[in-house]
Amino acid sequence: MVVELELSDGDVDRIFRALADRTRRDIVRRTIEAEQSVSTLAATYDISFAAVQKHVAVLEAAQLVVKRAEGRERLVRANPATLARARRLLADYERMWRARVDRLDDLLAEDL
């Protein structure tokens, strides 16, 4: 079984590096629920506004969120299409490993 990549290796690296951080995962979660301003996000964390901006920039580079201007505010929302592609990639890997375990079970059953 071959895993068909909808994402380039670079895309996969950016997505999982971005999701490796707890604050960034929380930003994605919050912006799935509702679009939020960077200021609103910054108020929820015990880190600087600049640090939250950097987290949002990492998520944006990984295409996990989309940022848009509305007046003076920058609004952030999750990008469900990228999340879906990452989920499909993980599901493909899970199917591949389950198939390998099934083959191993079959080989072991033949020896009995």
pLDDT of 1 reads 46
Beta pairing partners, 23: none
pLDDT of 72 reads 94
* Contact criterion met (CB below 8 Å) for 35 and 74: no
Q: What is the residue extent of each domain of the chain?
A: 9-110
Convert the pLDDT of each residue in 36-94 to its tens digit.
Answer: 999 999 999 999 999 999 999 999 999 999 999 999 999 999 999 999 999 998 898 88
HSE-up (13 A, CA, CB side) for residue 9: 0
pTM: 0.80
Q: Please tell me the distance from the alpha carbon of residue 111 to that of residue 21, in angstroms, as a whole number.
A: 46
Q: Please tell me the distance from the alpha carbon of residue 87 to that of residue 68, in angstroms, as a whole number.
A: 25
For the segment(s) 9-110, the CATH number from 3.40.190.290, 1.10.10.10, 3.40.720.10, 3.40.50.720 is 1.10.10.10
The CA-based diameter of the chain, rounded to the nearest angstrom, is 72
pLDDT-derived band at 112 (thresholds 50, 70, 90) equals low
